[in-house]
Amino acid sequence: MTAPVGFCSETRPDSCGVVLFGATGDLAARRIIPALAGLCGKGLAPRNFYALFVGRTPLDRPAFEARLAAAAAGAGGRCARALLARARYLRADYDSPAFYRELSAALDALDAEHGVEKKRLFYLATPPSAFEPIALRLKDAGLLSEPGGGAHWSRIIIEKPYGSSLESACALDSGLKKAVPESQIYRIDHFTGKETVQNILALRAANPLFEETWNARFLDHVQITVFEELGVEGRASFFERMGLARDMMSHILQLAAVTAMDLPEGFRDSQFKEQKRRFFASVPKPGPGEAAGFVRGQYAGYAGEPGVAQGSTTETFLAFRLLVENDRWRGVPFYIRAGKKAGRKRTRIDLAYKKPSSGAFSGTDAGYSNVFTLNIQPREDLSLSMVTKHPGPKQCFTPRAMNLAYREHAEEAGAPDDYERLLLEAMAGDQTLFLGDFEMKFLWDYLSPVLKAWEAPGAPLHLYPDGSAGPAAADALLERDGRRWF
């Protein structure tokens, strides 16, 4: 549970067994196994805890240990050893009822060994097409506890993509809900687990300096940038099906929501989700003309990537303007861009304050005097730019910045990283940082008109040099409004 400690609240999971489906896959190796190792090594995992890794690949114990140690190496040897002491492997046949009987027996034995008492977190790191059949077979095997089942509980974590269209997303959702209700479904978006993202609401709630100026009276516009240095890196078959918009829109909308939502009365799930629901309700879906104005780009080298179809129009870059029709934000555009092979890796949010309307600095062409920047990755820090007098006898203005290296303090405190934090929250039964079904539906309601506009004959696809900040059309998006990207 999330228990109050003085002026803080700390996530303290009860005992828990994690069952990782797709344990030999890429996602498990890159993100989930290192996170589990990190929790064990940092002493953040529950006292009574185990992890059962489930995969199709046949692995004996030495081969499993070698694979697990390699995946957890980034967390450090001590963390890897701490996880190995609580880890088991079970070869899977996801379509066989006999496998689920074997799984049930294995879980009962692990529960008894580790004192967990049927508190189970099922992580489906599998293709979305497998979500429904796995969940239904878990239910048929009696492995999914009913909500309100006393000391016993079961939860399911799923990863994006949540479908490839509104229709497929709704089908995926309804399929899962044949097995479990919404209260037991945890849709993960790792951006919500990042310390800087979580700090946005904390900064506003605790510091009137920000909350009192976090509105259309003081802000000129907001920019959100999500750039990746790498290209598709061997994932062309996935990317050809999805494209960047489908792949990244969940991240983008979560950053926009946490930035723009009104402050909840508290930071528990229902209060938090209600304000997010109100935010999404205030964002108009793009009409045909607006949808056609979304900038679609492709890095020049994409056509030569192995597995890319000849003449592919799959986008690797997206830029658009998002509007929010409520009293706080009306008239403040959100300019958003995301791309692969777009220079150095960076995710950031910039809030540009309005230029002075009077005084010595008014009327000058020196850009925005105040920009509040939240760097989310690769480094996590905050900065506030301002204009001050330049040292010396001359009366000159010069830009300065105040910086808070947030991640350095988080590392000193042994804070969990994004996946570690989200695993902790799921173990504790707190859905605050996970996506609700209404968010998934909004994502596709918003994106569908754009995808339809891009399917029209002659819809522009703007090429951009590998390693650049995107096509010129993305710059023009702001230049039309007399602004530029930071």
For residue range 128-159, list pLDDT tens digits in order: 999 999 999 999 999 998 776 568 999 999 99
- Residue 88 to residue 166: CA distance in whole angstroms: 38
Nearest-CA neighbor of 22 among 69, 89, 86?
A: 89
State the DSSP code for 386: E
pLDDT digits (tens, 9 = 90+) for 357-410: 766 666 566 567 799 999 999 988 899 998 887 788 877 778 888 888 876 655
More confident residue, 379 or 1: 379
- Residue 419 to residue 20: CA distance in whole angstroms: 14
Q: Is the pLDDT of residue 13 over 90?
A: no
pLDDT digits (tens, 9 = 90+) for 224-275: 999 999 999 888 999 999 999 999 999 999 999 999 999 998 777 789 999 9
- Residue 64 to residue 38: CA distance in whole angstroms: 18
Q: Burial level of 310, CB count in 10 A (0-12/13-18/19+)?
A: exposed
| Helix (H) / strand (E) containing 476 | helix 472-479
Q: Are 39 and 424 in contact (CB under 8 A)?
A: yes
Q: Are 332 and 221 in contact (CB under 8 A)?
A: yes
The percentage of residues in the chain with a pLDDT greater than 70, rounded to a whole number, is 93
Q: Is the pLDDT of residue 210 over 80?
A: yes
Q: Is the pLDDT of residue 214 over 50?
A: yes
Strands ordered across the beta sheet of 185-188: 87-91, 49-55, 16-21, 119-124, 153-159, 185-188
CA angle 404, 405, 411 (to 5 degrees): 135
Nearest-CA neighbor of 252 among 223, 272, 291, 277?
A: 223
pLDDT digits (tens, 9 = 90+) for 75-89: 778 888 999 999 999
- Residue 229 is predicted with a pLDDT of 97
Average pLDDT, the chain: 91
Q: Is the pLDDT of residue 5 over 50?
A: no
What are the structure tokens assigned to 433, written together? 């940082």
Q: Burial level of 325, CB count in 10 A (0-12/13-18/19+)?
A: exposed
- Residue 102 to residue 97: CA distance in whole angstroms: 9
What are the structure tokens assigned to 349, written together? 């949010």
Residues noted as catalytic = 251
Q: Which domains does the chain have, with CATH numbers?
A: 2-188 (3.40.50.720), 192-410+433-479 (3.30.360.10)
| Helix (H) / strand (E) containing 289 | helix 288-292
| Over residues 210-214, mean pLDDT | 95
| Over residues 48-61, mean pLDDT | 97
pLDDT digits (tens, 9 = 90+) for 329-350: 999 999 999 999 999 999 999 9
- Residue 216 is predicted with a pLDDT of 98
- Residue 6 is predicted with a pLDDT of 44
Parallel/antiparallel/unpaired status of strands 119-124 and 16-21: parallel
Query: pTM (2 decimals)?
Result: 0.92
| Helix (H) / strand (E) containing 43 | none
Give the end-to-end CA distance of the chain in Å, rounded to a whole number.
41
Region of 43 please: left (phi>0), alpha (psi -120 to 50) or beta: left
Nearest-CA neighbor of 341 among 437, 467, 444?
A: 467
| Over residues 28-45, mean pLDDT | 93
What is 167-195 written as a DSSP string? HHHHHHHHHHTTTS-GGGEEEE-GGGGSH
Cβ atoms < 10 Å from Cβ of 129:
10
